[in-house]
Amino acid sequence: MGNEESSPVDESVLPRTLSGRTLEALAEYMKSGKASKIVVMTGAGISTSAGIPDFRSPETGLYANLARLNLPYAEAVFDIAYFRENPEPFYALAHELYPGKFRPTITHSFIRLLQDKGLLLKLFTQNIDCLEREAGVDDDKIIEAHGSFARQSCIDCNQPYPEEEIKRHIENKEIPRCHHCKGLVKPEIVFFGEKMPATFFQNQSLPMQADLCIVMGTSLTVQPFASLPGMTREQTPRVLINKERVGGIGSGSDDVLILGDCDEGVKRLAEACGWLEELEALWAKTVPKVATDLGKPAEVVKKDKDEALDDEINKLTKEIDETLSLSKWHEEKVRSEAIPASSGNGTLNKASGSGIAVSVARPHENSGGNLDHVYGKQTTAQTLASEGLASEENEKQSGAAAQEGDNKN
């Protein structure tokens, strides 16, 4: 079951579990103690008000804005084969999106509230931003279907990599390397060409145990995640808090639709449950210590969030555009340098499980082992060119000074 259309349930069909298909009936059910094992399923829509763009929105999504760069295709930034040859685009993106730069939304705090009340069985999320964790949701309650920035490892030998070290590399705009085999390291985000985490499949049947399913901020287009809401029992109420109806939710006898902005939807639900004050107090604790726009009152953030999102996307695409220099010349350079080379003993290194030959030479690194060559520091050719320009400019200035001296004399 994905985002296919299905007819809303006939109003003559009575609910099996709820007293009605309304927000008030849902709140009554949640307060009664009958909803003690809640499964939550989320997508990028719960993070957009934090300033993080989603992936697929036609005009504001991450892919739409990366598409105008000189990547071979927008999704290449998350393609494992492309990453092996050219990791700079991903690490430039990681520098912008790494956890710690964004405040969790009140929707993330709502999930934390469910946990604190002992009601959260499991959170299934498609998001890689770790905002659930920053809101205080425990690691053992989270299934990150597409991985996240929470862990990192070598793509060749799979050895874990220290969190503090990758933070430092990303902050310093450097490409981290494995301490064991010197292979490329990346956060355990599921790239195209990689398998989903085993924990997803180990917990995939959990919705069958739930007595309430809450789906928020997702288009339910990507399988197998999109099939999760359909795995609940017929008598289990399903709640959709989303801008539009997706996944056939609304066709079940106990489906409740709360359409619109996710943050507004969870506040309405929390208010109906009598939890709004508690929720807002919990969200207030996520305000960064340093005073920034993230610490503004909710009303101000909501008023300016579209503008802020545009600014964030423009900033993101501008910095990547300026620093990556993925020009036609660069693409040709990557292709020419990606020709498999011998490892010194006449053999080739191969991507684990991919069948792709990987050159021992690392065309994406300079002699310093960092990203200075893509983050604005000049290449040798650029330095020579600038020195030539500077010399020419100095000659012009010297001539002008001499002329000025003659005029004074």
Task: Reply yes or no on whether 146 is catalytic.
Answer: yes
Residues 6+ apart with CB under 8 A from 363: 85, 86, 333, 334, 337, 338
126 assigned ligand-binding residue = yes
55 assigned ligand-binding residue = yes
Q: Are 238 and 215 in contact (CB under 8 A)?
A: yes
State the Cα–Cα distance between residues 360 and 339, nearest whole angstrom.
10
44 assigned ligand-binding residue = yes
Q: Is 191 exposed, middle or buried (0-12, 13-18, 19+ CB in 10 A)?
A: buried
243 assigned ligand-binding residue = yes
95, 108, 146, 364: the catalytic one is: 146
302 assigned ligand-binding residue = no
80 assigned ligand-binding residue = no
* Tokens 């739930």 sit on residue: 210
Q: Residue 282: which of 109, 134, 153 has the closest Cα? A: 109
State the Cα–Cα distance between residues 110 and 42, nearest whole angstrom.
12
130 assigned ligand-binding residue = no
State the Cα–Cα distance between residues 141 and 399, nearest whole angstrom.
72
157 assigned ligand-binding residue = yes
State the Cα–Cα distance between residues 288 and 304, nearest whole angstrom.
18
Q: In Å, how far are 28, 258, 352 from 37, measured between CA atoms? A: 16, 20, 39
178 assigned ligand-binding residue = yes
46 assigned ligand-binding residue = yes
45 assigned ligand-binding residue = yes
47 assigned ligand-binding residue = yes
154 assigned ligand-binding residue = yes
Q: Residue 217: which of 200, 239, 236, 240 has the closest Cα? A: 240
Dihedral, CA of residue 246, residue 139, residue 115 and residue 269, to nearest 10: -30
Dihedral angle sign, alpha carbons of residues 7, 10, 13, 15: positive
335 assigned ligand-binding residue = no
3 assigned ligand-binding residue = no
273 assigned ligand-binding residue = no
Maximum CA pair distance of the chain? Answer: 103
Binding-site residues for NAD(+): 44-48, 54-56, 126-129, 218-219, 242-244, 262
Binding-site residues: 44-48, 54-56, 126-129, 154, 157, 178, 181, 218-219, 242-244, 262
Binding-site residues for Zn(2+): 154, 157, 178, 181
Q: What amino acid positions are annotated as catalytic residues?
A: 146
